[in-house]
Structure 1
Amino acid sequence: MHQCKNYAFRVVKGNTFRLLPLIFGFIFALFVGFSSRAILPKSTEILWDTYGIPHIYGKDTQSAFQAFGWAQMQSHANLLLRLYGQARGRAAEYWGEKYLESDRWVQRMGIPERAQSWYKAQNPAFRNNLDAFAAGLNAYAKAHPDLIDDEVEVVLPIEPVDILAHGQRVLHFTFVVNPESINDNVEKIGENNSKASNGWAIAPSRSASGKAMLLANPHLPWSNLFLWYEAQLTAPGIDAYGATLVGIPVLAIAFNDNLGWTHTVNTHDGWDTYELQLADGGYRFDGKIRAFQTEEKTLQVKQDNGTLRAESLVVQHSIHGPVVAQKQGKALALRVVGLDSPGALQQWWDMAQAKNLTQFETALKRLQLPMFTVMYADRDGHIMHLFNGQVPIRSQGNFEDWEGIIPGNTSQTLWTKTHPYRDLPRVVDPASGWLQNANDPPWTTTFPRALNPDKYPPYMAPRGLMSFRAQRSAKMLNEDESISFEEMVKYKHSTRMELADRLLDDLIPAARKFGDESARRAADILETWDRQANADSQGAVLFAQWTDEMDFPEAFAIPWKEEAPQTTPDGLADPQKAVKALAIAAAKVDKAYGVLDVPWGDVFRLKSVDRDLPANGDPGKLGIFRVLNFAPTANGRFQAIEGDSYIAAIEFSNPVRAMALTSYGNATQPNSPHVGEQLQLFARKELHPVWRSRQDITAHLEQRQVF
Structure 2
Amino acid sequence: MIFSFILTLLVGSYNPTFGLRTTEILWDTYGIPHVYGKDAQSAFYAFGWAQMQSHGNLILRLYGQARGRAGEYFGEKYLKSDQWVRTMGIPVRARSWYNAQNPKFRQYLDAFAAGINTYAQQHADQIDEEAKAVLPINGVDLLAHTQRVLNFTFVVDPRDLAGISDKAPSVGSNGWAIAPAHSASGNAMLLANPHLPWSNLFLWYETHLTAPGINTYGAALVGVPVLAIAFNDYLGWTHTVNTHDGWDAYELTLSDGGYRFDGKVKAFETEEQILKVKQNDATLRSEKLVVKRSIHGPVIKGKDNKTVALRVVGLDHPNVLEQWWDMGRATNLTEFETALKRLQLPMFTVLYADREGHIMHLFNGLVPVHSQGDFEYWSGIVPGNTSTTLWTKTHPYHDLPRVLDPPSGWLQNANDPPWTTTFPQVLNPDKYPSYMAPRSPMSFRAQRSAKMLAEDEQISFQEMIKYKHSTRMELADRLLDELIPVARESNNSLVRRAADVLQTWDRQADANSRGAVLFSFWVNKIDLDESFAIPWNEKSPLTTPDGLADPKNAVTALNAAATIVEKSYGALDVPWGEVFRLRYQKIDLPANGGDGNLGIFRVLDFAPTSDGRFAPLEGDSYVAAIEFSNPVKAMALTSYGNATQPKSQHIGDQLKLFARKELRQVLRTRQEIQANLVKREVL
TM-score with structure 1 setting the length: 0.93
Q: Does 1:108 align with 2:87?
A: yes
Task: Assess if the C-alpha contact under 8 Å between 1:375 and 1:385 holds in 2.
Answer: yes
CA RMSD of aligned residues (A): 1.5
SS in 2 for 1:289: strand
What amino acid is aligned across from residue 630 of structure 2 in structure 1?
A: N
Q: Does 1:357 align with 2:333?
A: yes
Say which of 229, 232, 235 aligns to 2:208: 232
Q: Distance in 2 between matches of 1:276 and 1:624?
A: 42
Task: Assess if the C-alpha contact under 8 Å between 2:269 and 2:292 holds in 1.
Answer: yes
Q: Does 1:520 align with 2:496?
A: yes
Name the residue aligned to 2:380: 404
What amino acid is aligned across from residue 172 of structure 1 in structure 2?
A: N
Q: Distance in 2 between matches of 1:279 and 1:693?
A: 66
Name the residue aligned to 2:150: 171
Task: Assess if the C-alpha contact under 8 Å between 1:293 and 1:318 holds in 2.
Answer: yes
What amino acid is aligned across from residue 511 of structure 1 in structure 2?
A: A
Could you tell which deviates more after superposition, 37-46 or 110-119? Answer: 37-46
Task: Assess if the C-alpha contact under 8 Å between 2:343 and 2:365 holds in 1.
Answer: yes
TM-aligned CA deviation for residue 327 of structure 1: 9.2
Q: Distance in 2 between matches of 1:502 and 1:327?
A: 37
Name the residue aligned to 2:120: 141
Q: Distance in 1 between matches of 2:39 and 2:652?
A: 33
Seen in structure 2, the aligned counterparts of structure 1 residues 332 and 644 have a Cα distance that, compared at 3 Å, is same
Say which of 443, 447, 470 aligns to 1:494: 470
Seen in structure 2, the aligned counterparts of structure 1 residues 488 and 39 have a Cα distance that, compared at 3 Å, is farther
- 1:290-689 correspondence to structure 2 within 5 Å: 290-325=266-301, 331-514=307-490, 516-689=492-665
Task: Assess if the C-alpha contact under 8 Å between 1:44 and 1:706 holds in 2.
Answer: yes
Seen in structure 2, the aligned counterparts of structure 1 residues 257 and 503 have a Cα distance that, compared at 3 Å, is same
TM-aligned CA deviation for residue 440 of structure 1: 0.2
SS in 2 for 1:607: strand
Q: Distance in 2 between matches of 1:467 and 1:693?
A: 40
Name the residue aligned to 1:701: 677
Name the residue aligned to 2:255: 279
What amino acid is aligned across from residue 354 of structure 1 in structure 2?
A: A
SS in 2 for 1:545: helix
Q: Does 1:162 align with 2:165?
A: no
Instruction: Give deviations 1:646-702, integer Å, cap 9, x for gaps.
Output: 000000001000000000000000111101100110000000110000000001001
TM-aligned CA deviation for residue 40 of structure 1: 1.1
SS in 1 for 2:530: coil
Say which of 38, 41, 44 aligns to 1:62: 41
Q: Distance in 1 between matches of 2:74 and 2:598?
A: 40
Task: Assess if the C-alpha contact under 8 Å between 1:519 and 1:583 holds in 2.
Answer: yes
Task: Assess if the C-alpha contact under 8 Å between 1:92 and 1:301 holds in 2.
Answer: yes
SS in 1 for 2:630: coil
What amino acid is aligned across from residue 347 of structure 2 in structure 1?
A: M
SS in 2 for 1:525: helix
Name the residue aligned to 1:12: none
TM-aligned CA deviation for residue 517 of structure 1: 1.0
Q: Does 1:117 align with 2:132?
A: no
Name the residue aligned to 1:249: 225
Q: Does 1:77 align with 2:80?
A: no
Q: Distance in 2 between matches of 1:639 and 1:65?
A: 36
Q: Distance in 1 between matches of 2:163 and 2:478?
A: 39
Q: Distance in 2 between matches of 1:185 and 1:105?
A: 8
Q: Distance in 2 between matches of 1:130 and 1:452?
A: 41
Task: Assess if the C-alpha contact under 8 Å between 2:162 and 2:301 holds in 1.
Answer: no
SS in 1 for 2:371: coil
TM-aligned CA deviation for residue 85 of structure 1: 0.5
Instruction: Give deviations 1:76-134, integer Å, cap 9, x for gaps.
Output: 00001000000000000011100000000000000000000000000101000001000
Q: Distance in 1 between matches of 2:675 and 2:624?
A: 21
Q: Which runs of 5+ in 1 are unaligned?
A: 1-34
Seen in structure 2, the aligned counterparts of structure 1 residues 329 and 679 have a Cα distance that, compared at 3 Å, is closer
TM-aligned CA deviation for residue 514 of structure 1: 3.6
Seen in structure 2, the aligned counterparts of structure 1 residues 562 and 70 have a Cα distance that, compared at 3 Å, is same
Q: Distance in 2 between matches of 1:447 and 1:263?
A: 20
Q: Distance in 2 between matches of 1:406 and 1:114?
A: 26
What amino acid is aligned across from residue 443 of structure 1 in structure 2?
A: W
What amino acid is aligned across from residue 75 of structure 1 in structure 2?
A: S
TM-score with structure 2 setting the length: 0.97
SS in 2 for 1:419: coil
Instruction: Give deviations 1:587-633, integer Å, cap 9, x for gaps.
Output: 01011101000000000111123311000000100000000001111
Q: Distance in 2 between matches of 1:85 and 1:183?
A: 19
Matched positions, count: 670
Q: Distance in 1 between matches of 2:313 and 2:601?
A: 31
TM-aligned CA deviation for residue 186 of structure 1: 13
Instruction: Give deviations 1:26-61, integer Å, cap 9, x for gaps.
Output: xxxxxxxxx975351100000001010000000000
Name the residue aligned to 1:128: 107
TM-aligned CA deviation for residue 515 of structure 1: 5.0
Seen in structure 2, the aligned counterparts of structure 1 residues 39 and 242 have a Cα distance that, compared at 3 Å, is farther
TM-aligned CA deviation for residue 280 of structure 1: 1.2
What amino acid is aligned across from residue 373 of structure 2 in structure 1?
A: G
Seen in structure 2, the aligned counterparts of structure 1 residues 328 and 673 have a Cα distance that, compared at 3 Å, is closer
What amino acid is aligned across from residue 528 of structure 1 in structure 2?
A: T
Task: Assess if the C-alpha contact under 8 Å between 2:80 and 2:164 holds in 1.
Answer: no
SS in 2 for 1:616: coil
Name the residue aligned to 1:40: 19
What amino acid is aligned across from residue 310 of structure 2 in structure 1?
A: L
What amino acid is aligned across from residue 227 of structure 1 in structure 2?
A: L
Q: Distance in 2 between matches of 1:37 and 1:422?
A: 41
Could you tell which deviates more after superposition, 325-334 or 97-106? Answer: 325-334
What amino acid is aligned across from residue 431 of structure 2 in structure 1?
A: K
Q: Does 1:181 align with 2:160?
A: yes
Name the residue aligned to 1:691: 667
What amino acid is aligned across from residue 92 of structure 2 in structure 1?
A: E
Name the residue aligned to 1:153: 132
Task: Assess if the C-alpha contact under 8 Å between 2:161 and 2:303 holds in 1.
Answer: no
Q: Distance in 2 between matches of 1:670 and 1:55?
A: 22
Could you tell which deviates more after superposition, 35-44 or 395-404? Answer: 35-44
What amino acid is aligned across from residue 307 of structure 2 in structure 1?
A: A
What amino acid is aligned across from residue 539 of structure 2 in structure 1?
A: E
Percent identity for Structure 1 against Structure 2: 72
Instruction: Give deviations 1:202-226, integer Å, cap 9, x for gaps.
Output: 0000000000000000000000000
Task: Assess if the C-alpha contact under 8 Å between 1:260 and 1:376 holds in 2.
Answer: yes
Q: Does 1:195 align with 2:171?
A: yes
Name the residue aligned to 2:7: none
Instruction: Give deviations 1:286-305, integer Å, cap 9, x for gaps.
Output: 11111110000000000111
Q: Distance in 1 between matches of 2:256 and 2:499?
A: 67
Instruction: Give deviations 1:140-197, integer Å, cap 9, x for gaps.
Output: 001100011111000000011000000000000000000023146999x9xx761000
